[in-house]
Structure 1
Amino acid sequence: MSKKIISLLLVLVLLLAPMMGCSKQDADSSDTQSGSTSGSSGSSDASAAEKSGDSLVTEPGVLPIVTKPVTLTIGLVESSNVTDYETNYYTKYLKEKTGIDLDFYFFPSSETSQKLELMVTANEELPDIIMYVDLSDAAKASYGKQGVFIPLNEYMDKYAYFWKQTYDKYCSDTEKKVIETLSKSPDGNIYGFPFMDVDPTDSQVESIYINHVWLEKLGLKVPTTTDELYEVLAAFRDKDPNGNGKKDELPLVGYNTIDVRGDLIFILMNSFIYYNYSNYGRFNVENGKLSVPYITEDYREGLRYIHKLYKEGLIAPISFTQDYKQLKALADRPKNEDTIVGALAHHPWSGSQGWTYNDENYGKLVEYTAIGPLKGPKGVAWSPYKLVGIDFTTYITKDCEYPEVAFRLLDFMADETTSLISRRGEPGVDWEYVEGDVEAHYSKLGFKGVYRVLNDIWAEPEQNKNWHAQLQFLPASLFAGFAKRDFANELEKKRDALFLDGFYRRYGQYPDEIVTNLVYTDEELNEISEISTTITNYENEARVLFVTGEMDIEKDWDSYVQQIKDLGLDKWLSVAQQAYTRMNSK
């Protein structure tokens, strides 16, 4: 899939941003047309209305949605951030605007898909709508084929009034293409309602941050190549940059993870070859033909370089065993303690991993600056792209007596104001629309100010303003249209600047053609399910063993490549190629 097709958030949306200067609707403007609502005599009135031929629902775009009382049951995983779903501001807003009463069924937070499978197998009655339950493409297609989930194609064509308004106003061409490509199962049906919650900065998070205080003390510059990084890390190891007379410096540290944030192999390998995310099969593509990087000589050269850093004590061994909490404890120290970390891979803005900014005793973050993608020996300097914020995880089930009403509710949830309430909370209290030419926080990406956040409830551990789930329709230009924010203190401002600097340095640094999600048929999945899992696990394990020296890059390389092939790589590539070609020929 080409970059112009898949760069959902960060490329073509810039071309559309100047068109987004439309006037903003009030918090109550979802009442596009006026309708009437009757008393609450129970759902039986709705059944009677259908039998008598009376219209149960108003015309698309007219609120309230129903003319008779209707109750829908919503099935979702209960969020610990939500105080009470029944009294929740968002719940009451939906009820008031649509006239639909809502009951809740809560799935377990772990093994959610297994619980659903058990309910289907036991023929238990399902909630009318299952929301924000992430299923594999195969499971989604299977439930559709069995009739557990109803197809939404016809409903999208006939009733997607509010969704279409937001889509037309805010979606970039690339976002529209991604929805078209990924929303449909192989049978051509849409089973998951297309929601969006697109923070553009989530697409390229992985970065290294380096101690500029140490660099200045040693007379060094921020490295831009792999060779320069080696020289800098060696100086951090040998020249006592923290000045305490101890050999306690850790030149470069990450944490034990695959592909995200603290994965040093993932970040550094992209200076040698485009090293894609493992959940995308790590597939590369050139002129429409798929390949994998991890059996190439460029990949091998990358392993040699990372092994050299490890062998010479420039990468801390704990990078492959510790978790993010242990990394945070090493780097995010009180000001009166010695700094011991020279460079690290993590997410500085993350609530769980980021630097402490609300305690005056802390402040190590001011010592660091971001590194962009490093150029390797062949000039390669990639930053992998991750498709984020697109959700087809909400389904109308076979047990829904009023599927048109259920769809109309989902459509209203995709309204601009309703979506902002779902993400940002109560209008006038937690956020407000802005008028005129207001600078957006992400203005450097070309976005315009649409609204101002007054109280960031999404970050609060407990609140009762929304359902704290990605059940809104916020394309990048709407999500990222929040006005330039104020900060609680200088440390918070620095933390934000540090994160954005890392993002901007990596922004757009990926090939013109890349592979993200592939949608397989049942038959294709049956062919490759075991193969893909086995190969992925083996490659992820072997790369660490090569770096640490437990596998020899020279002596064990040929047997490693042969093992990958023996596990069925050619078969996996053939099936993946088939899926990729099918998806991109539409």
Structure 2
Amino acid sequence: MKRFKVWSFVLAFSMVFGILSACGTSESPNSEGGAATESSSGETAEQPAAESAEKGNFNKEGFPIVNEAVTLSIMAPDTGMQNWKDMVVLQEMEKLTGIKLEYRNAPMDSFETKKNLVFASGDYPDMFYAASITPAEEVTYGAQGVLLPLEDLIDNYAPNIKKVLDEHPDIRKSITTPDGHIYSLPRIDLSAVWYRGPMWYNGEFLKALNMEKIPETTEELYAYLKRVKEEDPNGNGQADEIPFASVKLDDVRMFMLGWWGIYNEVIYSDKEGKVHYTPMEEGYKGYLTFLNRLWNDGLLDKETFSQTDEQKKAKGKNNQLAIFSDYLPYFTLGGEPDPEDEMMKPLKSEIADSPVYGKHPGLSRGAFAITSGNEHPEATIRWIDYLYSYEGSTLFDLGPEGTLWEYTDKANRVKKFLDVPGGGDREEFRATLTPNYGIVTPGVVDNDVSKGLKNEYDQWILEQNEEKLVPIAKVPYPIVYLTEQEQEEASKLRSDLDTYVKQMEAKFVTGQESLGNWDNYVAQLKKMGADRIAEIYQAAYDRWDQ
């Protein structure tokens, strides 16, 4: 059995992006998007830019950005790993750009509250960094003139950002509010695949049961789970194996729905651009029927609807779980990374002969914004534009050359890791160098940054993605904005619908409600406004598509 003792920065950083943006309200296809209102702030960005540029202190190209130092205040969440003023990456940026930063940090767990207080008080920082500006905040505070429109600044002073937006017009559409302005900048990772962690097999169980190939259909999976229950694959002489483990189905729902041809658990658009409300689709019924079968036959963990993720992981470390979801299998099973713990291949079903997979859009909005109090917006956009370059990405993601890494072939951007100064954990040390740790930060993921740094396990994960997920993957629904009226209506409808769907999912799976009552359930969804939800998101999709 081949094991790998470490997993590298490459996976660590990419998963932080996936985890946080999946949890954020502005990026998930399950979210409602942002409300749009009319903006009267179209000229705000140009006036300070022109005034500052006329002073002769600002350089449109090259470094430093300013000839004489200017100080800008920056508000960002703090992960508690290092005081930002002591981070060498930010010190290097000051030397490079001539821009000093005044830090207004708040702990991650209270940052949203602090941000709301700042918006309410009018005491704005010059810029927000990794602040998870929501779509509603973008359009509300953009319309009020609090957040500056950035499109002219981008065109005139930010060539790296402009290049990305010109090459990927869908990204430009997804960060442009209906009033035509861009009020925030995103984190972009065009190689992102996962919304949540995929599903995994316990490799020891596969080996114990002499599985020559992993299941390819729901029937084959059912047969395998029956064997897990009956044949003691952990070899302890006890019937303590749990064939299928989950936490309230939240961790497996989206992955499983793809087996019945559905890309997302609430709203998705098909390949023809038609928007569907998932909980009343026939594929959703197929998903419920399969889980109910597992429940009735003792194959689905009886604590599914009550346990925590920590309780599930404890069962994994006790070698009781056959299949489960996590970002990496050893997060649940313990031990070291092991490629024998295979990624599940999405399954064929009685409804979908070819499964599908809902892919991450590779975009996390609201990572950076400039406020109306900023007297140097053109210098600020140049400062952040550096993070969208290869050099800026390398500095902010890895730290300065010679600390944790060095080039082995600079012309081809190939690198190698250096020993951690003083020993210890590489990621924890990196967190003392750069703000780009544990938060979704502005910038673009450049694959050249990690060139030469991927270990064998990193490479194996990428190969699993390419083999099993990418060929059937599609972004479930584009990142859009709702109008103010749509937002208000959708929020009211979704509040009741989401609660009802969640309750009925548990009842259908556990048999408290017979699936013979499916038609009554669908009728109730329609009565509660399910069709209207689909109409609202169809209208938003059509605007985006135009």
1:271 matched to 2:259? yes
Q: Which amino acid aligns with 1:345?
A: S
In 2, distance between residues paired with 1:99 and 1:536? 50
| Match runs of 1:173-322 below 5 Å | 173=167, 176-197=168-189, 200-202=192-194, 205-211=197-203, 213-217=205-209, 221-256=213-248, 258=250, 262-263=251-252, 265-276=253-264, 278=265, 281-322=266-307
**Does the 8 Å contact 1:212/1:222 carry over to 2?**
no
Secondary structure of 1:507 counterpart: helix
**Does the 8 Å contact 1:373/1:505 carry over to 2?**
no
Which of residues 457, 460, 465 is equivalent to 2:428? 460
Q: CA deviation at 1:497?
A: 6.5
In 2, distance between residues paired with 1:388 and 1:162? 17
The equivalent residue for 1:140 is 138
In 2, distance between residues paired with 1:102 and 1:573? 45
Which of residues 313, 335, 355 is equivalent to 2:334? 355
The equivalent residue for 2:56 is 55
The equivalent residue for 2:28 is none
Q: CA deviation at 1:476?
A: 5.0
**Does the 8 Å contact 1:204/1:384 carry over to 2?**
no
**Does the 8 Å contact 2:317/2:332 carry over to 1?**
no
In 2, distance between residues paired with 1:288 and 1:217? 43
1:561 matched to 2:522? yes
**Does the 8 Å contact 1:255/1:319 carry over to 2?**
yes
Cα 1:111–1:575 shift into 2, 3 Å = farther
Which of residues 474, 477, 494 is equivalent to 2:444? 474
The equivalent residue for 2:79 is 79
Cα 1:90–1:513 shift into 2, 3 Å = closer
1:371 matched to 2:344? yes
Cα 1:317–1:284 shift into 2, 3 Å = farther
Q: Which amino acid aligns with 1:232?
A: Y
Cα 1:571–1:164 shift into 2, 3 Å = closer
Cα 1:202–1:272 shift into 2, 3 Å = closer
**Does the 8 Å contact 2:393/2:445 carry over to 1?**
no
Q: CA deviation at 1:126?
A: 0.8
Cα 1:237–1:405 shift into 2, 3 Å = same
In 1, distance between residues paired with 2:85 and 2:195? 34
Q: Which amino acid aligns with 1:572?
A: I
Secondary structure of 2:58 counterpart: coil
CA shift digits 1:284-326 (9 cap, x unpaired): 3342221223212332122111110111011112233222222
CA shift digits 1:214-240 (9 cap, x unpaired): 455456642111111111111111122
Q: CA deviation at 1:367?
A: 5.6
**Does the 8 Å contact 1:138/1:521 carry over to 2?**
no
Structure 2: gaps (5+ residues): 1-13, 15-47
Cα 1:322–1:476 shift into 2, 3 Å = farther
Q: Which amino acid aligns with 1:518?
A: V
Secondary structure of 1:307 counterpart: helix
**Does the 8 Å contact 1:204/1:506 carry over to 2?**
no
The equivalent residue for 2:95 is 96
The equivalent residue for 2:537 is 576
User: Normalised by the size of structure 1, how large is the TM-score?
Assistant: 0.76
Which of residues 136, 157, 160 is equivalent to 1:159? 157
**Does the 8 Å contact 1:274/1:284 carry over to 2?**
no
**Does the 8 Å contact 2:187/2:365 carry over to 1?**
yes
Structure 1: gaps (5+ residues): 1-8, 10-46, 334-338, 358-362, 439-448, 487-492
**Does the 8 Å contact 2:393/2:443 carry over to 1?**
yes
1:65 matched to 2:65? yes
1:404 matched to 2:390? no
**Does the 8 Å contact 1:328/1:354 carry over to 2?**
yes
In 1, distance between residues paired with 2:451 and 2:356? 29
Secondary structure of 2:314 counterpart: helix
Which of residues 439, 443, 452 is equivalent to 1:483? 452
Runs of 4+ in structure 1 deviating by more than 6 angstroms, as ranges, are: 49-52, 455-458
Q: CA deviation at 1:195?
A: 3.8
In 1, distance between residues paired with 2:54 and 2:465? 57
Q: CA deviation at 1:436?
A: 8.1
In 2, distance between residues paired with 1:428 and 1:511? 39
In 2, distance between residues paired with 1:470 and 1:505? 28
Secondary structure of 1:101 counterpart: strand
In 1, distance between residues paired with 2:508 and 2:446? 39
The equivalent residue for 2:402 is 428
**Does the 8 Å contact 1:73/1:129 carry over to 2?**
yes
Q: CA deviation at 1:538?
A: 2.5
Secondary structure of 1:370 counterpart: coil
Q: CA deviation at 1:553?
A: 1.2
Cα 1:511–1:420 shift into 2, 3 Å = closer
> Which of 147-156 and 452-461 deviates more?
452-461
The equivalent residue for 1:530 is 492
| Match runs of 1:431-446 below 5 Å | 431-435=405-409
The equivalent residue for 2:355 is 381
**Does the 8 Å contact 2:192/2:361 carry over to 1?**
no
In 2, distance between residues paired with 1:98 and 1:521? 39
User: Normalised by the size of structure 2, how large is the TM-score?
Assistant: 0.81
- Give the number of aligned pairs: 492
Cα 1:426–1:532 shift into 2, 3 Å = same
In 1, distance between residues paired with 2:52 and 2:472? 58
In 2, distance between residues paired with 1:505 and 1:544? 33
| Match runs of 1:410-421 below 5 Å | 410-421=384-395
In 2, distance between residues paired with 1:191 and 1:341? 46
In 2, distance between residues paired with 1:52 and 1:199? 37
The equivalent residue for 1:128 is 126
Q: CA RMSD in A?
A: 3.1
Secondary structure of 2:73 counterpart: strand
The equivalent residue for 1:549 is 511
Q: CA deviation at 1:154?
A: 0.8
The equivalent residue for 1:37 is none
Cα 1:451–1:196 shift into 2, 3 Å = farther
Q: Which amino acid aligns with 1:574?
A: E
